[in-house]
Amino acid sequence: MKKANIQVDLLEHMGSDISVVNSARVSFNKQSYFEYDDDNPFIQYVSDKDCKLIKYLVDHNHFTPFCHAFLSFRIKAPIFVARQLAKHQVGLSWNEVSRRYVNSEPEFYLPDYWRKSASNVKQGSSDEVAPNNEGFMVGTMEVMDDCLDQYQCLLNAGVCAEQARMVLPQNTMTEWIWSGSLLAFIRVCKLRLDKHAQKETRDVAELIGNNVKTHFPVSWESYMK
């Protein structure tokens, strides 16, 4: 049985905090540029005036200037996480590996440990390790092996891949390319970094967020404050 981890790779990005600023400043037919450090011309930064503008846009819900910058990710995650993330639709496009066409050996996601449920149902889980964790880990791997055997059996017998996949569990890994506006990914992160979001989905949001923060630091900071 092949295990796999959650993975988020930034494929491409377009724009910067300055393109956010300029999408707002165009209203007055004005344009801004990055400023450069006198001592080190390789260090560029957004002027105080432009930082304030970005914060103003966020505070007053002028969101369209954040829709001109784009990011594109290739993400690998279990199906139960992908299903949650696919609910975010506005400003985003999603193309995914199809197990109708692909019948390679599936990979499975396994948590580091089974978490105990939380006393508050909205919280989903606590950080505590559930009782008999190791026993359940072994049992789970046996179930995965059984699912995999049955999947291979069906394929070997000539059953079509689009039906054989029915026996694969929700922790089967899937992969998709997810592209969209800066605003859309900030919205995903705001909702999925919340402590009420599922931990595994939060893991994906954190990896997406790291990339957004790197390339759009002022916009990220202004939305996440």
Ligand X SMILES: Cc1cc2nc3c(=O)[nH]c(=O)nc-3n(C[C@H](O)[C@H](O)[C@H](O)COP(=O)(O)OP(=O)(O)OC[C@H]3O[C@@H](n4cnc5c(N)ncnc54)[C@H](O)[C@@H]3O)c2cc1C
Q: Is 100 in the site for ligand X (CB under 6 A)?
A: no
Q: Is 99 in the site for ligand X (CB under 6 A)?
A: no
**Candidate segments 17-25, 64-72, 81-89, 206-214, binder of ligand X by CB under 6 A:** 81-89
192 is a catalytic site residue: yes
CA–CA dist 188, 30 (Å, integer) = 31
Which of 5, 44, 64, 89 forms a contact with ligand X (CB under 6 A)?
89
Residue 145 CB contacts under 8 Å (≥ 6 apart), including other chains: 1
Tokens at 6, concatenated: 């959650």
CA–CA dist 127, 71 (Å, integer) = 32
Q: Between residue 154 and residue 213, which ones bind ligand X under the rule CB under 6 A?
A: 187, 191-192, 194, 196-197
**Candidate segments 10-18, 71-79, 82-90, 97-105, binder of ligand X by CB under 6 A:** 82-90
* Min CB(184)–ligand X separation in Å: 7
What is the H or E stretch that residue 9 is in? Answer: strand 7-14
Q: Is 64 in the site for ligand X (CB under 6 A)?
A: no
CA–CA dist 127, 117 (Å, integer) = 9
Phi, psi of 63 (to 5 degrees): -90, -20
Would you please indicate which residues are annotated as catalytic (active-site) residues? 192
Binding site for ligand X (CB under 6 A): 87-90, 187, 191-192, 194, 196-197
